[in-house]
Structure 1
Amino acid sequence: MKQHIRAFVDDYLGELVEGSAAIFAGAGLSVPAGYVDWRELIRPLSEELGLNIQLENDLVAVAQFHVNASGANRHKLHKAVIEAIAADNPPTANHKLLAKLPIQTWWTTNYDRLIENSLRAAGKIVDVKSAVPQLATTRPRRDATVYKMHGDVDRPDEAVATRDDFERYPKERGAFITALAGDLVSKTFLFLGFSFTDPNLDHVLTRVRLTFANNQRRHYAVFRTRTRLAGESDADFEHYRLRQTLVIEDLRRFGVRVLTVDHYAEITEFLQELVDRYKRRTVFVAASTADFGGWEQEEVNEFIQTLGRSLVSRGTRIASGLGAGIGDSLLSGALREVLQSNRTVDEALILRPFPRAMDGEDSAVLWETYRQEIISHAGIAVFLFGTKEVDGELRLADGMFREFEIARDQGVAVIPVGGTGGMAEVLAIDARDNWQAIVPELGDDAPGIIAGLMNRPEKPVELIEPMLQAIQILQGGKK
């Protein structure tokens, strides 16, 4: 990964944690889903006018020309929007990755429904605002707000497309401009698939720049490095390459830093990195014990409480099913740290206590659902102990083995702490011997890290530091 993109990932990750990240999506984000860009959308209208769309740079003007030639009749323009966008094409990989991030604010000039559909598929409640009256209402318990500042395919008659529409925009849809200006001041935007030729956005950026001349918030935009097109002359290629350089430099005036990629696949790569690193801020602790690993119960309680305090103090969120013999101590340690910090319980803990009173087939289905759901929140899973008592006999916890399988299936990085014995030891042996398949996220140091955690210390609390070091490696991102 390029250094300037890695620096962006570090910065934007901080904004995600603070709840200050936002997205602005342009047509380029939707094209890979099978939708046409603005040039292709109005190509039929251009052909009716006898114009070569490839020679046109002011596409808004072309749309206006067609309306003028039709006697102010916008029917064909509306029809073009519907025919090009009405189908519910499936979201792209980039849409799905973005939907996994805790981004509450989304802006777009696109008419399609890819953003809201991807968010809903991720289980989020979405508040869509494509018309001014909608700005005055708030959907209860919303997870994300999507501002469609140029309208929606469901309302093609209100689509912002012509020169007249843009000229009337401040009067008829000025509330969107005000809302966007506020978000540009309070949030860090990532512009994806956007060309920065929208006159409304230009107006808003200028207003923000003039108001906050020396205190502009930094934003990011992604551009693909200009490459030579088939049949393009040297002179034309040099012209467009130079123009892109000048645009990138000009955007600095507005606090927008451009991330250049050679291939669009690089966008998917850094979005996946963002998802992985954000999820790794949540650690699932899989732990249960019937014999305390051969240590005294008080020693194990101290170990687990210290683990809970240490994780929360480092800004990590804990996910747990509060396993038998372990859960109370983990919760106590975590809550003690929460009460001494500025974090809320929800920010520090995800708890799914298992209903142990249930028996039979129903409980098996419920426990499987519980495990799948809680592990889905995490990016790292730590496995400790893993024993249970059945009919007076000590056995390995098969539930922990299932949690290990789920974690790997979901792409969650695993850390089996073999020094605690039980199922954790069985998992650690397998991870040490097959580290490239089981713990590749730890890199080439994985065998040594896992082996170190297999050592049984005199007191279990001595395992805290090597555990935290392994977690820190995973939370630090790819090298």
Structure 2
Amino acid sequence: MSPEIKQFIEDYAEELVSGNAAYFIGAGISINSQLPNWPNLIKPFAKKIGINKLDGKDLPEIAQYIINEEKSNRGPFIDAISRKLRKNYSPNAYHEAIVKTNLKTIWTTNYDNLIEKAFSNTTVDVKFTDEAISRDVPDNQIEIIKMHGCIHNSDRSDIIITQSDYEDFFLNKPAITQRLRLDLLQKSFLFIGYGYGDSNIKNIITEARRLGGNNTRQHYLITKDKINDRDFDLWCENLRRYGIRVIKINDYADLLLILEKLSLRSRGKSIFITGSHDTKNNKDVKLLSKKLAIKKGIILNDGQSSGLMRIASNTFMQTLIENKKDVNKRLKFFPNPYAANSKFANDASLLPVLKQWRIPLLKSTHIMIAFDGGMGTKAEIEVALDWGCTIIPFFKDKKRDTWQLLDNTLLKERVSKYNSNYITKVKKNKINHIDVLKLIRKIIK
């Protein structure tokens, strides 16, 4: 990975952590789900009007020609596009990395519903009309703004597909336009799934120009490099005028790696400590919590459960107070499912509900430090693995449910990247809080 890309990840991760970032997703993200790309969608219609080659053509303009030939009847064209996009496609690895990223707002020009599908375990608020754009979004929901409509829900007139649709967009969609203006000013966009000359990028640039060029925040576009292509280089340079910096990659696999790194980095230096609800006292967790509170920038995610988690949170908070640190900036609280029903700790039938409740907490967690626990703790660790967290086991009791997780392939892989001997030391009962702190430093450096 080049120094430029590493620096970009560093810079953009800060925007994600601060809540000032939004992803802007294009059709390229859906291609790995076997969806037809835009040229293949309109190719049969283009041939009917005598256009056999689409390379280098302005595709919304071609769509306009098709509608013109249909005497402005959009119905058959939109219906045919809809049939192709309504097939049972599944989200891909790019979508999964996006879902695991700690962000609140996603813009897209895609018509398909793969983004919504990918967020199947998270509540989303999908907006594709002017009427919906002003709707308030609860803190625990992800906002997905489908700028060009949704082929699954929109009326035909809401689909932005032809040249005239693009030209009239800012007139016909004033509320979405105003929201776009605000986000261009207040958020740092990351454009993914767009390539050289994409008409959608031109559309965004038009709005950036209306704002006055350099008045927007720094935005980024990741796209595949066209080596030794002067037109491409000039296009990239021109985007800088509108605050869009192009990050060039050699292969699309590089994009997935970047998104996965941003997913974890978006959570900042956040740590969640879990363990048995029956724990009354634990010297290790107290020592560890004190050290973490002293360490600059560490945020403790508090799931507000009793037992070991309460010991960790109380010790962390007390240490912050003693050192005159701002508690509000270092502690982040999440709903406690156990307060609603104490059976979550030992009722196997409730584990699916517990896991669902814990998603917001673990999606915001970079590192989980897991102490011995029962089925509830084990369930939380399993959710953390699903959501990309790095788990640091601090197990000492072979009789507890959590011990068997030491053989979990995913858990071992994530820890071994930073210390290949760590799991072996845990199994030999030779681990202490200093080993955990050293591992944390490597993970969040």
- Fold-level match, TM-score > 0.5? yes
**Contact persistence 1:304–1:333 (CA under 8 A):** no
Matching residue of 2:213: 210
TM-fit CA distance, 1:467: 3.5
Contact 1:29 1:193 in 2 (8 A): yes
Contact kept in structure 2, 1:217 and 1:255, CA below 8 Å = yes
**Could you tell me whether the CA contact under 8 Å between 1:111 and 1:152 is conserved in 2?**
yes
The 1:262/1:211 distance shift into structure 2, 3 A limit, reads closer
2:312 match: 330
Question: For the residues of structure 2 that align with 1:58 and 1:438, how far apart are their CA atoms?
Answer: 45
Of the candidates 341, 344, 348, which is equivalent to residue 326 of structure 2? 341
Cα shift readout 1:148-176 (whole Å, capped 9, x = no counterpart): 22222132332222222223223212332
Matched, 1:174 2:174: yes
User: Residues 392-433 of structure 1, C-alpha deviation per residue, up to 9 Å, x if partnerless?
Assistant: xxxxx6669947974895464343457xx65599979x89xx
Distance 2:340 2:117 in 1: 37
- How far apart are the structure 1 equivalents of 2:132 and 2:355? 38
8 A contact 2:26–2:192 mirrored in 1 = yes
CA shift digits 1:292-334 (9 cap, x unpaired): 67xxxxx7786365256346x523233557564x444322233
Contact 1:322 1:354 in 2 (8 A): yes
Alpha carbons of structure 1 residues 444 and 201: separation in structure 2 relative to 1, 3 Å: same
Residue 382 (1) aligns with residue 369 (2): yes
Inter-CA distance 307–329: structure 2 relative to 1 (3 Å threshold) = farther
Tell me the distance in 2 between the aligned counterparts of 1:135 and 1:343: 31
Distance 2:254 2:79 in 1: 35
| Identity over aligned pairs, percent | 22
Aligned residue number for residue 417 of structure 2: 441
Cα 1:71/1:264, change in 2 over 3 Å: same
Task: Name the CA shift for 1:442/1:450 in 2 (closer, same or farther; >3 Å).
Answer: farther
| In structure 2, C-alpha distance between the alignment counterparts of 1:276 and 1:221, rounded to whole Å | 20
For residue 439 of structure 1, give the secondary structure of its aligned residue in structure 2: helix
Q: Which protein is bigger by CA-based radius of gyration?
A: 1
State how many pairs are aligned.
427
Q: CA 1:344/1:110 → structure 2, altered by over 3 Å: closer, same or farther? A: same
1:39 Cα deviation from its structure 2 partner: 1.7
Mapped to 2, the partners of 1:362 and 1:301 lie a distance apart of 22
What is the RMSD computed on CA atoms of the aligned residues?
4.0
Paired residues of 1:19 and 1:104 also in contact (CA < 8 A): yes
Choose the corresponding residue for 1:254, options 216, 223, 242. Answer: 242
Q: Provide the C-alpha distance between the structure 2 equivalents of 1:300 and 1:165, rounded to a whole number of angstroms.
A: 63
Query: Distance between the aligned counterparts of 1:164 and 1:404, measured in 2?
Result: 51
Q: CA deviation at 1:183?
A: 0.5
Alpha-carbon offset, residue 380 of structure 1: 2.5
Compute the TM-score of the two structures, normalised by the length of structure 1.
Answer: 0.75
Q: Which residue does 2:124 correspond to in 1?
A: 125
Offset at residue 112 of structure 1 (A): 1.2
Change (3 A) 1:161 1:361: closer
Contact 1:441 1:474 in 2 (8 A): no
**1:130 and 1:315, CA in 2 relative to 1: closer, same or farther beyond 3 A?**
same
Describe the superposition over 1:10-48 as per-residue Cα deviations: whole angstroms up to 9, x where unpaired. Answer: 122211111111011112122222222222222122111
Q: Tell me the CA shift for residue 361 of structure 1.
A: 11
- Contact 1:382-1:414 within 8 A present in 2 as well: yes
Give the Cα–Cα distance (whole angstroms) in 1 for the partners of residues 399 and 440 of structure 2: 16
Aligned to 1:25: 25
Unaligned residue ranges in structure 2 (runs of 5+) = none
Q: 2:150 is paired with a residue of what secondary structure? A: coil
1:44 and 1:332, CA in 2 relative to 1: closer, same or farther beyond 3 A?
same
1:306 matched to 2:309? The reply is no
CA-to-partner distance for each residue in 1:52-84, whole Å, 9 max, x for gaps?
A: 233551222222222222222222322232123
CA separation in 1, counterparts of 2:338 and 2:133?
A: 42
Q: Specify whether residues 158 and 262 from structure 1 end up closer, same or farther in structure 2 by C-alpha distance, changes over 3 A only.
A: same
For 1:43, the aligned partner's letter is: K
Tell me which residue corresponds to 2:436. 467
* Paired amino acid for 1:472: R
- After superposition, the C-alpha distances for 1:206-265 in whole angstroms (9 at most, x for unaligned) are 1234362xxx421111111227xxxxxxxxxx6xx2211111111111221111112111
CA contact (8 A) 2:270 2:298 kept: no
- Distance across 2 between alignment mates of 1:167 and 1:438: 49
The match for 2:143 among 142, 145, 148 is 145
After TM superposition, give the deviation of residue 362 of structure 1 in Å. Answer: 6.1
| Pair 219,353 (structure 1): closer, same or farther in 2 beyond 3 Å | same
Q: Is 2:13 the partner of 1:13?
A: yes
Map 1:187-266 onto structure 2 (within 5 A): 187-195=187-195, 196-198=198-200, 199-210=202-213, 212=215, 216-226=216-226, 241-266=229-254
The SS at the match of 2:273 is strand
Q: How far, CA to CA, are the matches of 2:380 and 2:114 in structure 1?
A: 34
Change (3 A) 1:307 1:206: same
Q: Identify the structure with bigger relative contact order (alpha carbons < 8 Å, sequence gap 6+).
A: 2
Amino acid at match of 1:200: N
Mapped partners of 1:271, 1:29: distance in 2: 11
Q: Which runs of 5+ in 1 are unaligned?
A: 228-237, 294-298, 387-396, 457-462
User: Residue 123 of structure 2 contacts residue 140 of structure 2 at CA under 8 Å; is this kept in 1?
Assistant: yes
Equivalent residue letter for 2:150:
D
Mark the CA change 1:75 to 1:292 in structure 2 (over 3 Å): closer, same or farther: closer
User: Residues 401 and 104 from structure 1, CA distance in 2 versus in 1: closer, same or farther, beyond 3 angstroms?
Assistant: closer
SS in 1 for 2:442: helix
> 1:53 matched to which residue of 2?
53
Shift of 1:122: 3.3
CA gap of 1:109–1:409, structure 2 versus 1, over 3 A, is closer
Q: TM-score, normalised by structure 2?
A: 0.80
Paired position in structure 1 for 2:108:
108
Relative to 1, partners in 2 of residues 1:8 and 1:423: Cα closer, same or farther, differing over 3 Å? farther
2:68 aligned residue? 68
Residue type at the aligned position of 1:131: T
* Contact kept in structure 2, 1:27 and 1:110, CA below 8 Å: yes
Q: Give the whole-Å Cα distance in 1 for the aligned partners of 2:118 and 2:344.
A: 36
Q: In 2, Cα distance between the equivalents of 1:276 and 1:165?
A: 38
Amino acid at match of 2:444: Q
